[in-house]
Amino acid sequence: MSIRIASWNINSIRRRLKLIHKLKKEFSIDILFLQECKCTENDMPYEELKKIGYKYIYYNGQKSYNGVAILSNLELKKFFSYDFLGKGEARHICGVTKENINFHNFYVPAGGDEPDPVKNIKFEYKLKYLEEMKKKFLEEDLKKTIILGDFNVAPLEEDVWSHKQLENVVSHTKVETDSLKSILKVCGFKDVIREHFQDIKLYSWWSYRARDWDKSNRGRRLDHLWASNDIAAAFLSCSIEREVRSWQPPSDHVPIIATLNLL
């Protein structure tokens, strides 16, 4: 038996209900992990999501900003969230399946425009947040653990349209890419997408501000799916669905999809 999972920064769940329905229909997604839902628990469109076919909805919400959700066909055994650095922001939710697979869904802070933690407290916060992620997974014994979501960092040269032109742009600076690579290495995760696709350009985000995102193709791979060693080989396939960037009205991110063998 296998399940299909997806991670997607949808930039407002209420604005994107039809796209969630389309994704479920066309890609048979059993568990959908969402970031930037941008509403409180009270404003979550539970009824509409159930009509789409997601029977179980787990949500960590906040007014206007952030908000991370797990929409599922299958009931989860438990769920919880971390509030790293105690700011009360809804940037993490974890769901545990009956098979004891831990899915950690993250929306890492974007970090503002100025890539200097002394001048820009948003960038300082982003770097601290990444350190908290590392600390958390270092102190856990990683059993059947998957971490996914919008990490807001494009770690590799092949994760951006121009390494040279983005080396001083927040999301691809050395301090961020080093920090993200360090989490991967020190905690012992596998970058599932890169295990399947090496040495080719891969993007999951294209700015809204481009005149023609498709033609200019100035993308970045900001969204990730990592797995602990004991479960990494259970991923039968994965993909980043570029064409979803054209679905109307579009999010600036596209979904990452993977098929996971439950044995």
Residues interacting with DNA, by CB under 7 A?
11-12, 14-15, 38-40, 43, 63-65, 109-112, 122, 152, 207-209, 249
Q: Report the nearest approach of DNA to the CB of residue 98 (Å).
A: 33
- Bridge partners (DSSP) listed for residue 239: 257
CB nearer to DNA: give 182 or 246: 246
Quote the least distance from Cβ 41 to DNA, whole Å.
Answer: 12
All residues at 6 or more sequence positions from 136 whose CB lies less than 8 Å from its CB, including other chains: 82, 84
- Least separation in angstroms between residue 6's CB and DNA is 19
Q: How far is the CB of 7 from DNA (least distance, A)?
A: 15
Nearer to DNA, 38 or 224 (CB): 38
Cβ closest to DNA, residue 64 vs residue 164: 64
Q: Which is nearer to DNA, 43 or 99 (CB)?
A: 43
Nearer to DNA, 65 or 79 (CB): 65
Q: Which of 10, 33, 238, 52 is nearest to 148 (CA)?
A: 33
Nearest distance in Å: CB 208, DNA:
4
**Min CB(263)–DNA separation in Å:** 37
Q: Is the dihedral of CA 235, 203, 161, 177 positive or negative?
A: negative
Indicate the residue among 15 and 98 with the shorter CB distance to DNA: 15
